[in-house]
Amino acid sequence: MLKIAFLTLGCKVNQADSASMELLFRKAGHGIVPFTEAEADVYIVNTCVVTNTGQQKSRQMIHRAVRKRAGAVIAVTGCYPQTARDEVKAIEGVDLIIGTQDRHRIVELVEAAVARKRGGADGTADGAGSPAAGPDDEVRPWDGRVLFEEMAGGNEEDKTRAYLKIEEGCNQYCAYCIIPYARGPVRSRSLESIRAEVGKLTAAGYQEVVLIGIHLGCYGQDRQDGTTLYDAVRAALSVPALRRLRLGSLESVEVEPRLLDLMQQDPRFCPHLHLPLQSGCDKVLRDMHRPYDTVKFAALLQDIRAKVPGIAITTDVIVGFPGETDGDFAATCDFVRQCRFAKMHIFPYSMRQGTPAAERKDQVPDPVKKERAEALAAIDRAMQQAYFADNVGRTVRVLVEQPVRGRDGEDPHKVEGLAGNYVRVELPGDASLCGTIVPVKITAAGVDKCEGERL
């Protein structure tokens, strides 16, 4: 049995990929240990390149893994080797690189790398990753034959919420984004597999399943039979034992009216949509190659709220995109206030080589990006407070996740969790409530969560 340690950077899809790979190792009889473990046999770093910071941190974590234990196998997977293969191969001490394909073969590839490192398949001293041999290179370029990797979802360490990847890849090529190059074209999990995996997850005790993807709203486009995200949601909801279903991020232009009908009709379908805006200025949206304008986006939000009252709408916004003027940023601030988001995730623009935005000469200075991010964060705090206040007096169903943690450790008399409409709620109770869904009346709005009482 090998002791395997994972370190994962980046998005929820990356986290789900690592959880799926961990399950494959467990099924093969190997053990999963913390990355802090000094005696692991294999250290696997699942990398991120969505920003420069993500790529730099990926390099740092690879170097940290190399220093962990002499003789351990160091494997690097994810978006970094897929987009910068030679750069990762040149890092001394790396034994195996795998891109964003072939993760379903991770056990086989790691076992082979371990065998080579421990003496070489031919009995020579040059095992995997030695300066003479170099790392085993399993990165493949994208081609038309790539299919969705049908790997199981779930995390053995946490049975409250499971992330199930149902879509991979992106065909949109926004001007700032490297992800289509890292993740390849759109491909989709079969409806049969969605039903089967949701059934397994609910049988294992998970209270909530979150359907995620790189470009979730494009689910089914590769099937060319009219299948859409609506069908995937129906497949998941067809599992009678499912307690709660939530969607990951999807584009506003991909929100079907019948998807909202399902949300309105089935109380298990969480009233929460994450719709990336990226900018509230039409000029910047055009420069970004985004497929909508502010008029269409605002009209959609109005329709959504009319159909699903009380829904949480969250978003992403990029500040400091090349060419963004003070006036453009002011337009974004005005528009997000109009949208009344429950939460904004704010990202200073990060130049990614190989994208059209990186070639522009009108880059925004870093201090200006920082200033704009801080200004938008203040608006976000005010909107979140307003959303919390709107929920006072409402009864919601809360998935209890953990005891409340303070400066002195866990409070044995208070727990917290997430309501279906994305309100974090603190309520009286002990650890026995964790992993259950309970009805709660929201009694007060706090700074970063609400207070409630169990009904």
- Per-residue model confidence (pLDDT) at position 141: 86
Per DSSP, 455 falls in state -
Report CA 166 to chain centroid distance, whole Å: 12
CATH class of the domain at 143-270: alpha beta
- Per-residue model confidence (pLDDT) at position 120: 59
- Token pair listed for 83: 């987009």
Residue ranges of the domains in the chain?
3-137, 143-270, 395-454
- Token pair listed for 363: 């880059």
**Cα–Cα dist 79/233, whole Å:** 27
3-state secondary structure of 268: coil
User: What is the CATH number that goes with domain 395-454?
Assistant: 2.40.50
What is the full per-residue pLDDT of the chain (455 aa) written as tens digits?
Answer: 999 999 999 999 999 999 999 999 999 999 999 998 878 999 999 999 999 999 999 999 999 999 998 899 999 999 999 999 999 999 999 999 999 999 999 999 999 999 999 875 444 444 554 555 678 888 988 876 788 999 999 877 778 999 999 999 999 999 999 999 999 999 999 999 999 999 999 999 999 999 999 999 999 999 989 999 999 999 999 999 999 999 999 999 999 999 999 999 999 999 999 999 999 999 999 999 999 999 999 999 999 999 999 999 999 999 999 999 999 999 999 999 999 999 999 999 999 999 999 999 999 999 999 999 999 999 999 999 999 999 999 999 999 999 998 878 888 899 999 999 999 999 999 999 999 999 999 999 998 999 999 99
| Of 240, 241, 222, 220, the residue nearest 230 (C-alpha) | 220
- Per-residue model confidence (pLDDT) at position 125: 45
- Token pair listed for 312: 């949480």
3-class secondary structure for 106-124? Answer: HHHHHHHHHHHHCCCCCCC
Asked if 312 contacts 421 with a C-beta cutoff of 8 angstroms, the reply is: yes
- Per-residue model confidence (pLDDT) at position 178: 95
- Per-residue model confidence (pLDDT) at position 136: 87
Answer whether CATH 3.90.25.10 is correct for domain 3-137.
no
- Per-residue model confidence (pLDDT) at position 395: 97
Rg (CA), the chain: 23
- Per-residue model confidence (pLDDT) at position 90: 94
Q: How many other CB atoms sit within 10 Å of the CB of residue 71?
A: 9
